[in-house]
């Protein structure tokens, strides 16, 4: 070896050692070692150790179930919400910590129960499955009110446009080219452009059905556009005068033309059934006025009796001449006919008047025959859809349940779901189909007394059981109570105790059937005795006053002797 290399080798091997020793004494030696030296001397880097907090993990799992329950409620799936809310609670109760022993879990558990109870109270405040659905204002009210002040003078060019349109197209109802009709065409083109376009878009899914019915009845197809003004084709439209549905039938007129109306069903809201009734009614009106459709339309709005009296008093059988007599017909009827005719002109040729919209496909559906009453929310879950979709397919149903005293009811469900719904229907118990409460009439009971006892409307109680409000009730009769206790969470907390039978609960308590074979709770009915309070009953059943109020829709603390309370408590293992 070349002796001249020895000093250099000495520096290569010794200097790193010196540097390390010097660093240990607080001295700083700046060196940039080669890459291999750095790798050999650096200590191995260990990955950080993440210690999972089991309490936070439990809380996270519970919260995910709670949020899933929220999503189910938004869809109207009460059953699914109950399952998820119960899972949210059980994740905590079945853990080694229980629901109350660990401070963080205790705090979260209390907030969880409060949040579920808030949903419970909100659901009861907004109504349950027996509360009548919400309706929309009918367009006819607003249109006729606006016509008093907002009908413009027609533009000169509009006359030529409409004249050319009428000459090139065929109408099966006479359309006069007068100032009143032109003025409403101007109004629909301008201020009410959006309203009319939306109505035509919505109505496009009903028009084929309506035209088929009218064609079969030999009626003018132009009459298919009457709902454009009456309701903007909204099945749930309700006017100030209580006319309802696409065709805006009054109650009496609907009954006269074969539309069923009771506590559960109002066929005025069913577009197909109401269209058949409308064809029958319009044909009858045309017959009264010898085929004069202008007078027939006026009578559709103002009533045939009023029009007949006006014709008799003035000896005028022409609507336009009658309309000049302001004291003979009300302004609404005088405006109604030209408004309908203007809507027909535009709807027959919308592009000519500046309207552009995409048509909607007709409703398609399957039908399932229900032998027993069923909650629509159950059907929505089985069909994997929303309660809104089931209601849209069955707009005649006034509530979230099908009729109770009905041998069979044909329910419309989304295409492709009938088989699934039928299968679930056969598997489900009666309780799972609809949450119905029943009351057995006792000697001396009256509808008024029962209604007060159960805190329900006497009218609802009577109509829900197909009775008159003044009817007498016989002892032993079973009445359906139009009230539902929405229980979103099983009554399982550390404060509940298992019970073996009704004797362990309280005197006069009756244990109801268990909700399902896998459930660990029973529903108990307890009849309030003189001297009972909510607090004393809560102590007997190891529950809370708030739970009793929620389960029984009791707004305050007052209860009456003889009142029957529903209580959920744990079943013995």
Catalytic residue numbers read 230
CB-CB contact of 530 with 500 (8 Å): no
The CA distance from 39 to 93, in Å, is 53
For the chain, the farthest-separated pair of C-alpha atoms sits apart, in whole angstroms, at: 142
Task: State whether residue 144 is helix, strand or coil.
Answer: helix
| Number of Cβ atoms within 10 Å of the Cβ of 478 | 10
Classify strands 521-527 and 564-570 as parallel, antiparallel or unpaired: antiparallel
Strands 237-238 and 136-137: parallel
Long-range contacts, stretch 11-19, CB < 8 angstroms, 24+ apart:
16/41
Burial category of 365 from C-beta neighbours within 10 Å (exposed 0-12, middle 13-18, buried 19 and up) = middle
Can you tell me whether residue 534 is helix, strand or coil?
A: helix
Residues in a beta bridge with 368:
411
Separation CA 176–CA 440 (nearest Å): 64
Distance CA 372, CA 397 (A): 15
Question: Is the CB of residue 197 less than 8 Å from the CB of residue 270?
Answer: no
DSSP secondary-structure letter at 559?
Answer: -
As a whole number of angstroms, the distance between CA 143 and CA 147 comes to 6
Cα distance between residue 225 and residue 203, in whole Å = 8
Give alpha helix (H) positions in 29-102.
35-41, 54-74, 78-93
Backbone angles phi and psi of 367, in degrees to 5: -125, 135
CA distance 208 to 216: 12
Q: What is the CA radius of gyration of the chain?
A: 37
Which residue shows structure tokens 């003025």?
183
Secondary structure of residue 527 in the 3-state scheme: strand
Only one residue has tokens 């979709």, namely: 389
Cβ neighbourhood burial of 332 (10 Å; 0-12, 13-18, 19+): middle
Q: Where are the alpha helices (DSSP H) in 428-544?
A: 430-433, 447-454, 458-464, 534-540
Q: Under a CB-based contact definition with an 8 Å cutoff, are residues 514 and 522 in contact?
A: yes
- Residue by residue, what is the 3-state secondary structure of 521-558? EEEEEEECCCCCCHHHHHHHCCCCHHHHHHHHCCCCCC
Residue given tokens 């003189």 in the structure block: 530
What does the alpha-carbon distance between residue 43 and residue 522 come to, in Å, rounded to a whole number? 64
* Per-residue tokens: 258: 């074969």
């Amino acid at each position: 070896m070349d002796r001249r290399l020895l000093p250099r080798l000495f520096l290569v091997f010794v200097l790193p050692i010196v540097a390390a020793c010097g660093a240990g004494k607080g001295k700083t030696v700046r060196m940039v070692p080669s890459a291999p030296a750095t790798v050999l001397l650096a200590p191995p880097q260990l990955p950080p150790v993440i210690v999972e907090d089991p309490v936070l993990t439990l809380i996270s799992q519970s919260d995910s179930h709670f949020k899933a329950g929220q999503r189910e409620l938004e869809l109207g799936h009460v059953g699914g919400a109950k399952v998820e809310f119960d899972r949210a609670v059980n994740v905590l109760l079945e853990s080694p910590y229980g629901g109350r022993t660990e401070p963080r879990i205790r705090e979260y558990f209390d907030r969880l129960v409060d949040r579920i109870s808030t949903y419970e109270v909100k659901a009861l405040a907004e109504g349950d499955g027996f509360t009548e659905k919400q309706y929309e204002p009918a367009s006819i009210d607003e249109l006729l009110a606006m016509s008093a002040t907002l009908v413009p003078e027609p533009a000169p060019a509009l006359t030529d446009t409409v004249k050319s349109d009428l000459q090139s197209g065929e109408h099966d109802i006479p359309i006069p080219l007068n100032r009143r009709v032109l003025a409403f065409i101007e109004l629909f083109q301008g201020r009410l452009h959006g309203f009319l376009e939306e109505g035509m878009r919505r109505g496009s899914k009903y028009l084929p059905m309506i035209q088929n019915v009218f064609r079969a009845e030999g009626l003018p197809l132009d009459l298919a556009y009457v709902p454009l003004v009456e309701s903007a084709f909204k099945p749930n439209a309700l006017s100030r005068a209580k006319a309802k549905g696409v065709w805006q039938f009054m109650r009496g007129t609907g009954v006269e033309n074969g539309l069923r109306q009771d506590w559960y069903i109002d066929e005025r809201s069913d577009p197909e059934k109401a269209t058949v009734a409308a064809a029958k009614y319009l044909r009858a009106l045309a017959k009264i006025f010898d085929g004069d459709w202008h007078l027939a339309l006026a009578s559709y709005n103002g009533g045939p009796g009023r029009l007949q009296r006006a014709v008799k008093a003035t000896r005028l059988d022409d609507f336009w001449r009658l309309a000049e007599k302001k004291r003979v017909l009300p302004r609404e009827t005088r405006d109604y006919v030209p408004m309908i005719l203007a809507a027909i002109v535009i709807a027959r040729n919308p592009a000519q008047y500046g309207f552009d919209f995409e048509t909607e496909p007709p409703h398609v559906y399957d039908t399932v025959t229900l032998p027993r009453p069923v909650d629509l929310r159950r059907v929505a879950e089985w069909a994997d859809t929303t309660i809104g979709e089931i209601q849209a397919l069955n707009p005649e149903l006034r509530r979230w349940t099908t009729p109770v005293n009905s041998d069979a009811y044909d329910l419309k469900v989304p295409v492709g779901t009938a088989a699934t719904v039928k299968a679930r229907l056969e598997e489900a118990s009666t309780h799972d189909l609809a949450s119905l409460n029943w009351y057995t009439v006792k000697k001396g009971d009256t509808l008024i007394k029962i209604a007060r006892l159960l805190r329900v409307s006497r009218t609802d109680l009577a109509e829900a059981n197909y009775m008159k409000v003044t009817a007498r009730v016989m002892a032993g009769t079973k009445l359906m109570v139009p009230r539902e206790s929405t229980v979103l969470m099983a009554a399982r907390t550390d404060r509940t105790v298992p019970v073996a039978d009704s004797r362990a609960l309280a005197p006069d308590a009756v244990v109801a059937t268990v909700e399902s074979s896998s459930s660990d709770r029973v529903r108990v009915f307890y009849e309030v005795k003189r001297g009972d309070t909510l607090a004393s009953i809560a102590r007997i059943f190891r529950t809370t006053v708030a739970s009793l109020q929620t389960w029984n829709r009791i707004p305050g603390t007052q209860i009456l002797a003889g009142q029957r309370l529903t209580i959920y408590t744990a079943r013995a293992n």
